[in-house]
Amino acid sequence: MKKTFLFCFIIMSMNLMPRTAHAQSFWKQLGKAITDIANTPSTGNQQNNSRPRVYNVQPTTAQSNTRQTTVQQPSGPLYQIHTTSNTKTITLQGGVQYLGNFSCGIALVKWKKGWFAINQNGDKVFDLPTGYWPGDKYKNTYYEFSNNRLIICAEAQNILNNNIAIIDTQGNIIKEFKNVTEFSSIQNGVAIIKDEKYNGCYIDQDGNVLSRTLPVYEALTVGPVLGYMREGMRRFYDDKTKRYGYCDEKCNIVLSAQFKGADNFFNGLAKVKNNDDLWGYIDKTGRFVIEPIYSIEPGSFYNDYAWVKDKAGKIYFIDRTGKFVWQEPATGKPQRLYNFLSDLDNGGYALWVFDRSLYIVDSSFRKRAKLSEVFETSGNVTSYDDDWFQFTDDDMRNFVYDWNGRLLLKFDGDYGRSSVFHNGLCRMDDNGGGAHYYFNLKGEIVIQFKDTQF
């Protein structure tokens, strides 16, 4: 628009000015300069335009040859970690030695005088009973609340004689156990304990015995391992038969130990390995819905899709019938394809590492967005929700994105001292740097801990 107005103004001026030799030379030079300006691309609109740039990419579906677009989001995180006028500061003599993750609205904090619990407002809820540890001190492990229950153990323990207790989120002791040799955390309302009388038993969250006969050990482990409960089924391992089976929430055996390998149920199906070392997928009756034909362990089903890999290393996606719905394109250098995670938007999204860049892929296998600032092929999705996900690379750098690919937060970890988001909050527990605080998805520090000045 500005160029058009300039041309009109020059033409009108030329008609009004006298045409002397000097004037003609002037207008000739001016006309050349304007021509150069007209041929120069304008950048003013790009600088003021808030719309993201769009790049053409190659198609990622086997069914379509049309070109697709992926959005390159603005670089740099939307939020920075910062204090606000609402940040609660807790000052403790000697500072903080350990911050736990929030679970069931409660986090455990350790300082020189012991342990105490806080809520998400930073208010103290209770002190841990004197001489107790939230977890297994002998193994230097910390447990978190699950189903509003937590197993704590006496600090003056040894490998053959532990006193443990189950407490609620107010610090009340629900039940105590004496002379326990091994125990697990509570997961989905169930825990495992072993004492001198019994080889091991399953208990519920209130300490009631569920089963003394269900096997408690996992392959290649020393202590008891509690399988994770998903969709009403829990995997267990029989050390005598060297096979896996499944039980229900009350520890009743549903599928006998018969599989050489097994995983949890996802979308009603679980991947298992038969006696021929081939993987397939079963339903909750033990029937193979997808026959065991895969020699390389496949992925689990998320949002009705699972990835499989052939012997050449090529990745495919199958649906719940075993039908191939996607395969890697022949061009480019794909390195990794993560499972579909979110339940939103046509069944969710996957993350795809392609040519050392990380993309969000929708359920139609179209590249939705290219993620800025992530160039590594190794890392994991450490936490996610319907609106965001957290990606942690092998250098402990953390990136929080929304599912449109917008970078929300970026922060560095220090050998595991920083954490992933739980209940909407993430901890930063850096004893070396003296930083101890919890922050939310907007980078706002909600609770921070400080040492006294003297």
Please tell me whether the overall predicted TM-score, pTM, comes out greater than 0.85 for this model: no
Confidence of residue 126 (pLDDT cuts 50, 70, 90): very high
DSSP for 165-220, written as a single string: EEEETTS-EEEEEEEEEEE---BTTEEEEEESSSS-EEEETTS-EEESSS--B-TT
Confidence of residue 116 (pLDDT cuts 50, 70, 90): very high
If phi > 0 it is left, if psi is from -120 to 50 it is alpha, else beta; for residue 170 that is: alpha
Q: Is the pLDDT of residue 328 over 80?
A: no
Alpha-carbon separation of residue 189 from 205, 229, 232, 252 (angstroms): 5, 9, 12, 15
Taking only the tens place, the pLDDT of each residue in 78-92 is 999 999 999 999 999
Q: Are strands 114-118 and 124-127 parallel, antiparallel or unpaired?
A: antiparallel
Confidence of residue 326 (pLDDT cuts 50, 70, 90): confident
Torsion of CA 111, 116, 117, 118, to 10 degrees: -60
DSSP for 229-269, written as a single string: EETTEEEEEETTTTEEEEE-TT--EEEEEEESEE---BTTB
Taking only the tens place, the pLDDT of each residue in 270-287 is 999 999 999 999 999 999
Q: What pLDDT is stored for residue 384 in this prediction?
A: 87
